[in-house]
Amino acid sequence: MEIMKKLLIAFLLLAGLSMNGQTLTNPGFESWTITSTYAPDTVPTNWWPFYCNTVKQTTDAYQGTYATKIQGWFACGIAPGIMVNGQAPLDYGSFMESGTPFTSKPSTFSGYYKYNDQGKGDSAEVTVVLKHYNTLTMTRDTVAYSVKTLPATASYTMFTVNINDLMPGVTPDSIIIMFNSSKYYMWNDSTGELPSLYIDRINMPETPMSIIESENPLLSSSVFPNPFTGSASLVIDANFEQLESAIVNIFDMSGKKVMEIKDLRSNKVLIEQGTLSQGNYMYQVNNSNTMLSQGKFVVQ
């Protein structure tokens, strides 16, 4: 019985499953750990570097005390600056075998970065993969996959990755996030320096359990621009009679209602940032007990 229990635990770990794995761990990079590899590094807790001496703690943060600096260096060739969430797999270079438990399917992944490139045309990259362990094939299916290019910027800038859903209706069990500080491995000929990527305050919004989403809302709608700063317009595909007593409710990603807009004058509703902080939000257009439309937007 004890052997069977140990086998079951090992299977769940390999499959990347966890009943409590609902959120990203250490998203602000405030917790740090010393690795136990042959060349110990100080790295963010629950993250690992492809090569030693390429991930460093920095106080040059967007928010909080620390951020992560990722930078490659010359070591019998180029040791690329690459950081992945989770624990390093047995096949150390196979980042697709890493990751942490995650059982939601958000549409975006965001965070803040700044990037010092060292060659014209180079860029950093962030890759997001949602996986699901297939018990029939004994393999990990790729549920969603997206790559975002991060161009050079001297100050912290928000990035947003739109996640491409490859398997609608399939719930993931793990998430893999990889940051690469140089897509083309360029360097400065004069100094020998490779590009440096700073990352802080990453966020994977999840659908709040307190918000009921409808697969077939009665009316289509959209927010423009999205993301936005200051204000945006919510345009609802409806005539005024349909919206005469409607209310727009806005929720943060914990499910808390943070704004309510009443007395709609037309199918174009102004959303002012006001007290809304930077982040991801969900809106619903309701008429009495009927949900007419819904959607998401980002304040940056």
Indicate if 242 and 192 belong to the same structural domain: no
Among 174, 203, 232, identify where a domain stops: 203
Indicate if 282 and 161 belong to the same structural domain: no
Q: Look at residue 22 and tell me whether its pLDDT is greater than 50.
A: no
Q: Look at residue 253 and tell me whether its pLDDT is greater than 70.
A: yes
Name the residue range of residue 226's domain. Answer: 221-299
Q: Which percentage of the chain shows pLDDT scores above 90?
A: 37
Q: Is residue 210 one of the residues assigned to a domain?
A: no
Q: Is residue 216 one of the residues assigned to a domain?
A: no
Would you state the pLDDT for residue 135? Answer: 86
Would you state the pLDDT for residue 118? Answer: 82
CB 143 within 8 A of CB 190: no
Q: Look at residue 259 and tell me whether its pLDDT is greater than 90.
A: yes
**Under DSSP, is residue 5 helix (H, G, I), strand (E, B) or coil?**
helix
Would you state the pLDDT for residue 6? Answer: 39
| CA–CA gap between residue 91 and residue 66 (Å, rounded) | 30
Range of weakest confidence among 19-33, 172-186, 221-235: 19-33
Check residues 84 and 120 and name the one with the higher pLDDT: 84
Q: Is residue 211 one of the residues assigned to a domain?
A: no
Indicate if 78 and 162 belong to the same structural domain: yes
DSSP 84-112: EEB---SSTT-GGG-BEE-----SEEEEE
- Going by pLDDT thresholds of 50, 70 and 90, the confidence category of residue 107 is confident
Would you state the pLDDT for residue 209? Answer: 42
CATH number, domain of 199, equals: 2.60.120.890
Nearest alpha-carbon partner for 123 in 135, 112, 113:
113
Number of domains in the chain: 2
Indicate if 193 and 244 belong to the same structural domain: no
Range of weakest confidence among 71-85, 204-218, 247-261: 204-218
Task: List, for residues 271-286, the tens digit of each pLDDT value.
Answer: 999 889 988 888 988 8
Q: Look at residue 292 and tell me whether its pLDDT is greater than 50.
A: yes
Overall average pLDDT of the 202-210 stretch: 61
Indicate if 92 and 230 belong to the same structural domain: no
* Structure letter (DSSP) for residue 164: -
Backbone angles phi, psi at 97, to 5 degrees: -95, 10
Among 203, 238, 259, identify where a domain stops: 203
Would you state the pLDDT for residue 12? Answer: 36
- Going by pLDDT thresholds of 50, 70 and 90, the confidence category of residue 10 is very low
Q: Look at residue 265 and tell me whether its pLDDT is greater than 90.
A: no
- Going by pLDDT thresholds of 50, 70 and 90, the confidence category of residue 156 is very high
| CA–CA gap between residue 187 and residue 194 (Å, rounded) | 5
Indicate if 19 and 145 belong to the same structural domain: yes
Among 149, 174, 203, identify where a domain stops: 203
Indicate if 185 and 92 belong to the same structural domain: yes
Indicate if 74 and 178 belong to the same structural domain: yes
| CA–CA gap between residue 32 and residue 77 (Å, rounded) | 28
Q: Roughly how many angstroms between the first and final C-alpha of the chain, as a whole number? A: 53
Indicate if 158 and 271 belong to the same structural domain: no
Would you state the pLDDT for residue 113? Answer: 95
Backbone angles phi, psi at 180, to 5 degrees: -120, 125
Nearest alpha-carbon partner for 12 in 122, 146, 103, 120:
103
- Kindly report the average pLDDT of the chain as a whole number: 82
For the entire predicted model, the pTM comes to 0.63
Indicate if 12 and 132 belong to the same structural domain: yes
Q: Look at residue 217 and tell me whether its pLDDT is greater than 70.
A: no
Task: Look at the block and give the residue holding tokens 């393999």.
Answer: 139
**Under DSSP, is residue 282 helix (H, G, I), strand (E, B) or coil?**
strand
Task: Look at the block and give the residue holding tokens 């490779």.
Answer: 194
Task: List, for residues 144-154, the tens digit of each pLDDT value.
Answer: 999 999 999 99
Check residues 84 and 263 and name the one with the higher pLDDT: 84
The HSE-up count of residue 202 (CA atoms within 13 Å, CB side) is 24
Indicate if 188 and 227 belong to the same structural domain: no
